Each structure stands twice: as C-alpha cells, then as structure tokens.
A and B are shown apart, each in its own frame.
Chain A
Amino acid sequence: MVDVYHPKTLEEALQFRSSTGAVPFSGGTDIMVRYRTSHGVLPDLPWPIVLLGHLKELQYLRLRKGSLCIGAETTLTDVMDHELTPPLLKQAIGLMAAPALRNLGTLAGNIGNASPAGDAVCALIALDASIELASPRGRRVVSLDLFIVGPGRTILAEDELITEIIVPIGEGHISWYKKVGTRRANALSKLSVSADWAVDDNVLTHVRIALGAVAPVVLRCRDIEDDMTGMKLPEIALQREDLMNRYKCSITPIDDQRSSAAYRKQAASNLVGAVLDEMTGGR
C-alpha cells in the first residue's frame, strides 16, 4: 500500500509532489499495467502517486500567439475530437489503443512515460511541440525533443509536473502519418513515422520527419531535414534512394517482442520513401 494523493488543484498537486516525491499519475494506462499483480490484489506500486487526470484546470485546448496550447491532462479522446487539433496529431491518436483507453490516457502521460514507441510523442515532435513544466519554483518551457532523453527517462525535475503542450500552428502545412502495428486497435507500434512539411513554388520550404520506435528516443534527423529544406521537389525525387539510405543509417532500432531491428530499418526506410513520394508526387 502506498500513499495516493487526490489534489483539488494544480497548486495542491505541486505541493504534494514536491513535499513527498509522489510520482505523477495521469490516466494510469501504463503504470497500472506495469505494476499489476493479480485479481483482488493491490497493484504493487513502488512509490506514492499523485493523481492528476481529474484536474479540470489542466484540461483545455486554446489558441495563444500562433500556437495551440493543450492542457496536459486533456484526455486523448478530447484532444483527438477537438476542431483545433492538427490533423497529424488526430491521426496519431486515432490509432492509439482503443476508445476506453483514450478516455483515460492523456498527453502528459504519453510524454512522461517517455516510451520510444509513444505515438502522440512522435506526432508532437514532428510538429515541433514544446511543453510547459511547473514546480513551486516557477514554470519553464522546454522543447519536447529535448525533454525525453532515453527510454523512460526525461529531464522532469523531482518537484515538477507537465502542465501544457504547446504546438505551433503551421499554416498551409501538409502532414503524413503511418503506424506499423499488428492490428489497428490496441497494438503498440513496431514503428511509426510522422511528417510535416510545406512547399512554396515547387520548393520545399520546411520539413520535419519524426521516427518512432526505431531508436532510444523518437528521432528527427535535423541534418537531413536541413539539407532537404530549400530543395526543389524534382531534386528531392531524384535523391529519393539516397535520402532513404541516410535515414536508414541514422536509426538504431532494437530487436524486441514486437519486431526485429532488421525489419524496423527496412520499414522505416520504406516509410521515408513514402513520405518523399507524397511530397514530390512521385510513384
């Protein structure tokens, strides 16, 4: 048995967190699986938890200064169904788990769990999202890309909570998402690819491609993105194989129960090829 805190406000949650070191608990859909025991027996939680999923003040979507700001405890269902949510994020969430889990799961949970296979994380990194962290010491905003540093590891301080996800609105951007899993519902990703780009007068003016579950963290290859930016689309089409190869060489997947490293390398490269085809109108 552990201490379970049910704060009434964010302020109370921050107090509990900083004074007890309680672990943030959003929807619980990862924690309750990892520490389950047997029917009728308490889950074997190794630390106290502070419940956050019910905090209304962290459940919202609103526009602010050209960005969509999403309260960190908004359920995946509510994020997916909202008219302001970018299509890429809607698509990624739509293929996560199933309705009952999406009614519990939150963006803060998907981010804090820091799995390389976190599908919302993959989409959010392609969208260049940042997150706001709060503690009794104040607030800070960090790039989501820098927040997650390894499987299950983040730079969240002992007294901090994730309070908001900030997604820049890319006017006129085109997006593409593909998840490879064993079935449509309730499958964890073997790998996933999220892409977001913009074209002006046949020139690629902006591109971000995020690859999930093919490295210790969701991966973006900024050197390749920089090289592609400013290129004419026919030029990109000509370099298709070369670009696919560069991505293939940049990723470091592992063998696990869901897939093999060799499969992930090949499939990731093929999906990058599909992104380039969509971009250039090829194939």
Chain B
Amino acid sequence: MNEIHCRINGTDYTFSFPGERRLLDVLREDLQLTAAKEGCGEGECGACSVLKDRRVVNSCMIPVAAVEGCEIMTLEGFRQTPEGRCIVEAFSDSGAVQCGFCTPGMVMAAASLLFENPDPSEVQIRTALSGNLCRCTGYDMIVQGVRLAAERGRGLW
C-alpha cells in the first residue's frame, strides 16, 4: 500500500490507509475532527462538506488516496483563520445556527463561495448553498449570514 501525503488544517500528514477509505471517515474516526458530519452519505445533503484546495467538496465521496498532495480544510482549522472567524461570527449574529448539524457544511460552502466571489448576490449565495440541506432555519438567516460575512469581510477574501 502506498503512503498518502496531504495537509489537513495546516498540518502535514502521511497516511497508510486503504486508498478507498473515505476522507470523511479519516477525518472523523482517525483524526477526531468531527465538524464534518455524515448526513446522507451520498452527496445530497452537504453535511460532510470540507474545502479541498479552497473549493467545497463532499468528503463522503472522496477516497483518501485522491487527496494526495492536496490541502484539506475542515471547520476546526478554518475557524482559526480570519476568514473563518468572520463567517462564524456572521452566522452567529444572523441567527443562522439552530440545531447546528448542517452548520459546518454551510460555513465551508460559504467560504468556497466567498473565496471565488467576495461580493455575491442573493441568487449566487443561494446557488452556492444549494447542495447543503438545513431542516431548521428555512435558509433565510443563513443567506443573511453569508451576506453579512461578505460585507464585514471586505478586503479579507
């Protein structure tokens, strides 16, 4: 079995897992990074969203061998960064968090959007979050949270 090298939340790792082990399981079970959740396990709900090279992806669909040489960011690492703090605070201030299950995925999807487009319209925000299901908020407060993060974070993205 070949070794897999990647960077997760700024730390370099070398793994020797079976290559098809899901990135989500490596994060949650081996590294105890439990922000990414398993909702549906098939790419429908977005609860397992993480950043791979600054783009949002579903970690339940990625074999760990496919992140060779990549930079992975989960909410645990992202919230330590200025961009992460900005989104987390904006979500909190907007009432975008209720039960919290979808929140880590929502934050990562929002981050991916803002890295690409620092000043998104409401439609662009809703499109960016379209792969993330929330059963509590009705989404409006989350959309407001992303909007607030865009405004407060000017120059940051």
Interface residues of A (CB under 8 A from B): 1-4, 6, 25, 27-29, 32-33, 36, 39-43, 45, 49, 51, 53-54, 77, 97-101, 103-104, 184-186
Contact = CB atoms under 8 A, between A and B. Distances in A.
Could you tell me the dominant secondary structure of chain B's interface residues? Answer: mixed
B22 A32 contact: yes
Given A36-B42, A41-B25, A100-B46, 12 more contacts: A6-B66, A6-B68, A28-B66, A39-B25, A42-B20, A42-B21, A49-B20, A51-B19, A53-B66, A98-B132, A103-B55, A184-B130
B131 A101 contact: yes
Given A6-B2, A43-B20, A98 B46 contact: yes
Interface string B64-90: 011011100000000000000000000
Interface of B: 2, 4, 18-22, 24-25, 28-29, 38, 41-44, 46, 49, 52, 55-58, 60-63, 65-66, 68-70, 109, 112-113, 127-128, 130-132
A99 B130 contact: yes
B44 A100 contact: no
The 3 closest A-B pairs by CB, nearest first: A98-B131, A4-B19, A185-B130
A202 to B, nearest CB: 37
Contacts, number: 111
A100 B66 contact: no
Could you tell me the dominant secondary structure of chain A's interface residues? Answer: loop
A261 to B, nearest CB: 25
A1 to B, nearest CB: 5
